[in-house]
């Protein structure tokens, strides 16, 4: 049997299994169709044709579902009025729709391919500086954002052999390779770093102590720097003139351990490729944590202004909107204070939300 025939047979078998496993509820869920039917087919088509299929699905979804199109139209309007992107550079609705589908694909298109094939899809800048910093044994604090191909950037770290732990909520809808990597039985296991809803104060302190221990053992620790937060561990950040508090554990960790800080800027250009810029090293002195946060948001603002179509989360997720609800705070005070220090307890209404929740996550 020829390779094209095997490919067609494999796709047909996958579609048949998918169709026969559907319940009525799952049948009308776009995530079921997208993650279990469309992405496996796109993965078999290769990077270029797979990207065309995923982008077309995003445009089709916007065309057939008016609420989605309205959401994207409001996002395109925000790019002009709030982000001050020139009308000529502002993303069109169709462009934003295609980008949102590629954003939702996360790293799923990288599943089932060899390491060499995977690495060829990435254009990476600054890798040598990060490896040199880690070789010194001081660890590194990596600060990313919900922008561009941020989950694919985590996948690249896994494939590239970067010894990193992620101080984030466990992402959903991942490649099997990354999900399996998260569950490895190794020193400083990743499962002990994940944040989650309902994290108790003692558990939250444990997470930060583990992050500090990992840094002192020479590992990298990844944090998301753009999580809206109203708890005691937030710091003021300004993005396109809009100031709010964001969860900012990373500058405290960097100042406490003297570990270098690297900004992780990711992108998803057309053609099934991924772009990662690792910018640093920077160092945070104790007492200058707020300046470090301001510098991070200044860099993120420049990236969004340069590539607004890739800022899907910041354009359409409610938590980043001008009239966003009060950002979640946590009963779990996530800080670098020693275990015996007192921890503030907000009311039960302030449930912990380490990561913003949206229909895109």
Whether residue 95 is found in the same domain as residue 138 = no
Q: Identify the pLDDT of residue 340.
A: 43
The band of 200, judged by pLDDT with boundaries at 50, 70 and 90, is confident
Range of the domain at 94: 3-104
How far apart, in whole angstroms, are the C-alpha atoms of residue 21 and residue 26? Answer: 9
pLDDT value at 328 more than 90:
no
Shared domain for 97 and 221, answered yes or no, is no
Is residue 240 within 8 Å of residue 84, measured between CB atoms?
yes
In a domain? residue 273: yes
| C-alpha distance across the termini of the chain, in Å | 40
Task: Tokens for 338, please give them.
Answer: 């020693």
Residue whose C-alpha is closest to residue 306's, from 53, 21, 90, 127: 90
Give percent above pLDDT 90 in the chain: 67
| 196 and 305 together in one domain | yes
The least confident of 76-85, 108-117, 186-195, 304-313 is 76-85
Mark which of 83, 104, 125 sits at the end of a domain: 104
User: How many domains does the chain contain in total?
Assistant: 2
pLDDT tens, residue by residue, 269-287: 989 999 999 999 999 999 9
Same domain, 70 and 206: no
Mean pLDDT along residues 16-36: 66
Classify residue 274: in a domain, yes or no: yes
Q: How much is the pLDDT for 269?
A: 92
- Convert the pLDDT of each residue in 209-231 to its tens digit: 999 999 999 999 999 999 998 77
User: Is residue 334, in this structure, part of any structural domain at all?
Assistant: no
Same domain flag for 205 and 153 = yes
Who's near 319: CB < 8 A, 6+ residues apart? 228, 325, 327, 356, 357, 358
Q: How are beta strands 261-267 and 140-144 bridged, if at all?
A: parallel
Q: To the nearest whole number, what is the mean pLDDT of the chain?
A: 85
pLDDT over 70 for what percent of the chain? 80
pLDDT at 255 over 60: yes
Q: Is 355 a member of any domain?
A: no
User: Is the whole model's pTM more than 0.85, yes or no?
Assistant: no
Same domain (yes/no): 67, 215: no
Asked if the model's pLDDT at residue 326 lies above 90, the reply is no
Is residue 343, in this structure, part of any structural domain at all?
no
In a domain, 52, yes or no: yes
Q: What is the pLDDT of residues 84-130, one digit of tens each?
A: 776 667 788 999 999 999 999 999 999 999 999 999 999 999 999 99
Structural domain includes residue 49: yes
Q: Do 262 and 130 share a structural domain?
A: yes
Q: Is the pLDDT of residue 351 over 80?
A: no
**Are 127 and 205 part of one and the same domain?**
yes
Query: Same domain for 84 and 122?
Result: no
Same domain flag for 68 and 211: no
Under DSSP, is residue 234 helix (H, G, I), strand (E, B) or coil?
Answer: strand
Residues 97 and 119 in one domain: no
126 and 71, same structural domain?
Answer: no
Omega cis (within 30) before 281: yes
CB-based contacts of 190: which residues, under 8 Å, 6+ apart? 165, 166, 181, 182, 183, 184
pLDDT score of 32: 86
Residue that finishes a domain, picked among 104, 134, 167: 104
Neighbours of 218 (CB within 10 A): 16
């Amino acid at each position: 049997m020829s390779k094209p025939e095997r490919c067609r047979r494999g796709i047909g078998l996958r579609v048949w299994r998918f169709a026969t496993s559907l319940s009525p509820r799952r049948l009308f869920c776009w995530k079921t169709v997208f993650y279990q039917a469309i992405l496996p087919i796109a993965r078999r088509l290769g990077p270029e044709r797979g990207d065309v299929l995923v982008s077309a699905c995003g445009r089709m979804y916007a065309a057939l579902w008016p609420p989605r199109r309205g959401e994207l139209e409001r996002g395109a309007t925000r790019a002009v009025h709030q982000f001050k992107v020139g009308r000529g550079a502002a993303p069109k609705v169709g462009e934003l729709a295609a980008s949102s589908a590629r954003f939702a694909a996360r790293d799923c298109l990288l599943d089932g391919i060899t390491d060499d094939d995977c690495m060829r899809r990435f254009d990476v800048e600054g890798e040598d500086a990060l490896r040199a910093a880690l070789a010194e044994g001081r660890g590194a604090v990596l600060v990313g954002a919900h922008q561009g191909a941020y989950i694919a950037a985590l996948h690249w770290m896994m494939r590239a052999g970067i010894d990193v732990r992620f101080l984030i909520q466990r992402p959903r809808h991942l490649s099997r390779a990354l999900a399996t990597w998260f569950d490895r039985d190794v020193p400083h296991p990743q499962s002990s770093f994940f944040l989650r809803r309902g994290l108790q104060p003692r558990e939250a302190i444990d997470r930060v102590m583990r992050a500090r221990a990992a840094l002192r053992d020479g590992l990298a620790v990844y944090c998301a720097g753009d999580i809206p937060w109203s708890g005691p561990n937030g710091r003021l950040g300004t993005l396109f003139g809009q100031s709010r508090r964001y969860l900012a554990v990373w500058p405290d960790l960097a100042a406490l351990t003297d570990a270098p800080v690297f900004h992780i800027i990711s992108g998803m250009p057309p053609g099934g490729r991924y772009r990662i810029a690792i910018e640093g090293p920077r160092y945070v002195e104790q007492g200058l944590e707020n300046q470090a946060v301001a510098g991070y948001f200044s860099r993120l603002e420049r990236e969004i202004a340069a590539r607004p179509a890739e800022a899907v989360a910041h354009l359409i997720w409610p938590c980043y909107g001008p009239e966003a609800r009060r950002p979640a705070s946590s009963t779990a005070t996530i800080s670098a204070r020693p275990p015996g220090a007192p921890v503030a307890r907000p009311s039960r209404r302030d449930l912990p939300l380490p990561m913003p929740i949206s229909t895109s996550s």
